[in-house]
Copies of this chain bind each other. A is one copy, B any other.
């Protein structure tokens, strides 16, 4: 199979801005860093104050960035599929993140007709240790 991507970083960000402006509610928090066959890398800006009450990136913010990375990886592979929805997300919190941007690396483990399964590793920018690990499932609408 030729793993040609259906959307570029620019197209992905334009699609999100147009279809899901609420992602950027309260300030632009996420940026797509890279897309590749069956994967994507996304950045969560540390400067976004409402994602780090208490000084460190919050659990729900980690879940958000992981979910976003999965959605971007699916979109890049399938093209605009606005109705794909998360059905399950399981997160293990491994270490306290640094006071830095968070980088989410997503790999699609399966991209079937009805379900996509992905794993995401979250790291503080510049660090090797995995801060949190996520596995999630998306339901893909019939096309």
Residues of B close to A54: CB separation below 8 A: 20, 22
**A94-130 near B? 1/0 per residue, CB < 8 Å:** 1100000000000001100011010100000000001
Known: A60-B61, A63-B59. A88 touches B90 (CB 8 A): yes
What is the size category of the interface that chain A forms with chain B?
A: 35 or more
Stretch at the interface among A6-14, A73-81, A131-139: A131-139
- Residue A89 interfacial (CB < 8 Å): yes
| Other-chain residue from B25, B59, B67, B88 in contact with A92 (beta carbon distance below 8 A) | B88
> Which of B53, B109, B130 is within 8 Å of A130, CB to CB?
B109
Whole-angstrom distance between the alpha carbons of A139 and B58 in the complex?
Answer: 17
Residue of B nearest to A65 (CB): B60
A137 touches B137 (CB 8 A): yes
CA distance A95 to B87 in the complex (A): 9
The 6 closest A-B pairs by CB, nearest first: A22-B53, A60-B60, A90-B90, A25-B53, A22-B54, A94-B110
Query: A41-69: which residues lie under 8 A (CB-CB) from chain B?
Result: 50, 53-54, 58-61, 63-64, 67
Using CB atoms, name the residue of chain B closest to A133: B109
CA distance A66 to B83 in the complex (A): 25
Apart from A60-B64, A90-B91, what are 7 other A-B pairs with CB-CB below 8 Å? A60-B63, A86-B93, A88-B90, A89-B91, A92-B109, A109-B130, A135-B135
